[in-house]
Amino acid sequence: MQKKIIRRSLSEDMRSYLSDMHPVLRRVYLARGVHDVAELTHELEKLQPYSSLLNIDQAVSCIAHTLMTQQSILIVGDFDADGATSTAVAIRALRSFGAQQVNFLVPNRFEFGYGLTPELVEVAKTFQPALIITVDNGIANHSGVAAAKAAGMRVVITDHHLPAATLPEADAIVNPNQLGDAFPSKNLAGVGVTFYVMLALRRYLLDQGWFVQQALPEPNMSRLLDLVALGTIADLVPLDYNNRILVHQGMRRMRAKLCSPGVLTLFEVSGRDITKAMTSDVGFSVAARLNAAGRLNDMSLGIDCLLCDDYSRAREMALTLHQLNVERRSIEQDMHHQALAAMATVHVNKLPYGICLFDESWHQGVIGILAARIKERFYRPTIIFAPGKKGELKGSARSIPNLHIRDILADIAVAYPGLIMRFGGHAMAAGLSIESNKLVEFSEIFSQMVARKMTEDDLSQRVWTDGSLGHEYLNLSTAELLRDAGPWGQRFPEPVFDDVFRIVDQRIVGDKHLKLALSKDNGRVLDAIAFYVDLRQWPNHRCQTIHAAYRLDINEYNGRRSVQLIVEHMELGSVKE
């Protein structure tokens, strides 16, 4: 799809803010809505208080009673990185609070599907829990909660997914997105909600004198922040101010190696230096390996890795996760080729507004990644389906800005009762199940619904930049300044700039990447690289200049550090005749 480079603009009434700041950093922050230096202070005391979370007192009371009477607690998690870190945070916290009977259960996506289902409750019974705590799930599991209650279990739901019109009949529900909740940060990941519940529980137990009575050290909750940061980054939730604090503090602990052995070894097997870790390293390398367990096998392995306090055992599990990720990449690559072949049969001018693809051979655990790839390639909301249980298809949806994918599915469910069996999710990602014989009907209706919400202009992909950089800022010190100015992430994107450069040299490296030497206005030559270029177009030795959107990066080689441009997008400039 055609991309357009567009510069972020600053209104006149913003010009007076952050006046004493470095000009490049000031421009970047203002474009992201930061108008006060107080928003750049990432200290823990700046976190929103847990007291404004709806039902937090009821949840804490229920959990505290179960813990203080030493009854069995079962954490029911989810099979992605957010669910895994949520589970690990809950168990580590509860154990540090003195819980002697705490276990976890995470559904295998191929057997049970998502969340606390009645089928999973049958498995849960083997643990004989007095209390089930759901983490990163539960808000849509009405029948599962009912089954647990009928079996005599109490249920506390902690979740962040958008609720339906009715809520499950749990003993307490903590979800910042439920109606009537006054908590200001609606963007908490599941692990963030879990962390907040555990913070409130710790305070309650402290006030009750529990730790003194049990001769327990007062738990230090900051020790869990590496897991909170990992889950928050992995789930691609918007990095509002509250989430930036959580991520900043977690990243600080990672770089200082004050993290769990599981996180440390996941960095090691991915070939990343944890002391120089960035949010991108966490998302693309560490979270990918953790997610591989839930995609291909069972997320219990990933959770065990995060819970392990023995370095050697944690490394063994991290290596297994690494091998699963290698396998996942191979499966994904094959599926990607098949999906592109299917899309090749559709004329570019007749692309549906919403894309739905299915193949009998596709792996259910990888469809989310494939949906993201196809969405990026064709810039359309995309749902990828794979075979589920007999007569059922599992779908994973990814969206583009200006289209709330979960709301679209809700609209379809209302307008066409019975067409969707189950669904849930966020603005940018969702999951669903349909009957296999309804795929064609659903695909047509999905595209029609998307077409009602979006214009052709919405489907034009934009590469947003922070404008041009002068010669004096194209250097290592600016790159270091921007690297340390984050954390960057969803809706608080890493700075991207754009300029016209003269191509001094160009060559392919690693079979698919374009290595460039660029000069701006005949100034000094800068190293640059564009990853995964179209080899039908590059190298192009007739092209003399390019208009490039790029990030400033730090290249380290043989102890030498230099600035490098990471080219996100480039448009052809002047061409030799």
pLDDT of residue 577: 53
User: What mean pLDDT is predicted for residues 275-304?
Assistant: 92
pLDDT of residue 109: 76
1 has pLDDT over 60? no
Q: Are 268 and 71 in contact (CB under 8 A)?
A: no
CATH architecture of 47-322: Alpha-Beta Complex (3.90)
Cα gap 184→378, rounded to integer Å: 35
The pLDDT tens digits for 57-68 are: 999 999 999 999
Q: Are 403 and 119 in contact (CB under 8 A)?
A: no
pLDDT of residue 193: 98
User: What mean pLDDT is predicted for residues 199-205?
Assistant: 98
Pairing mode, strands 429-435 and 392-398: antiparallel
* Residue bearing the bigger pLDDT, 164 or 223: 223
* Position 298 confidence tier, pLDDT thresholds 50, 70, 90: confident
Cα gap 529→299, rounded to integer Å: 36
16 has pLDDT over 80? no
pLDDT of residue 252: 97
Backbone angles phi, psi at 532, to 5 degrees: 50, 55
Contacts 24+ apart (CB under 8 A), 111-114: 113/388, 113/394, 113/422, 113/433, 114/78, 114/79, 114/422, 114/424, 114/431
User: What mean pLDDT is predicted for residues 344-365?
Assistant: 90
Structure-token pair, residue 9: 């603009």
552 has pLDDT over 90? yes
pLDDT of residue 12: 63
Residue written as token pair 């306090």: 309
User: What mean pLDDT is predicted for residues 494-503?
Assistant: 96
Evaluate the omega torsion of the peptide bond into residue 261 and state whether it is cis, within 30 degrees of 0. no
User: What mean pLDDT is predicted for residues 189-210?
Assistant: 98
Burial class (CB in 10 A: 0-12, 13-18, 19+), 526: buried
> According to DSSP H, which parts of 219-310 are helical?
225-234, 241-255, 261-269, 279-281, 287-296, 300-307
**pLDDT, the chain, mean:** 93
Structure-token pair, residue 417: 């009762």
Domain boundaries along the sequence of the chain = 3-32+463-572, 47-322, 346-459
pLDDT of residue 9: 86
Under DSSP, is residue 416 helix (H, G, I), strand (E, B) or coil?
coil
Classify 3-32+463-572 by CATH class: mainly beta
For 167-194, the DSSP string reads ----SEEE-TTSTT---S-TT--HHHHH
pLDDT of residue 556: 85
Question: By percentage, how much of the chain surpasses pLDDT 90?
Answer: 82
pLDDT of residue 530: 96
pLDDT of residue 402: 86
The pLDDT tens digits for 83-135 are: 999 999 999 999 999 999 999 999 887 777 778 999 999 999 999 999 999 99
The pLDDT tens digits for 396-433 are: 999 998 899 999 999 999 999 999 998 888 888 899 99
- 346-459 topology per CATH: Diaminopimelate Epimerase; Chain A, domain 1 (3.10.310)
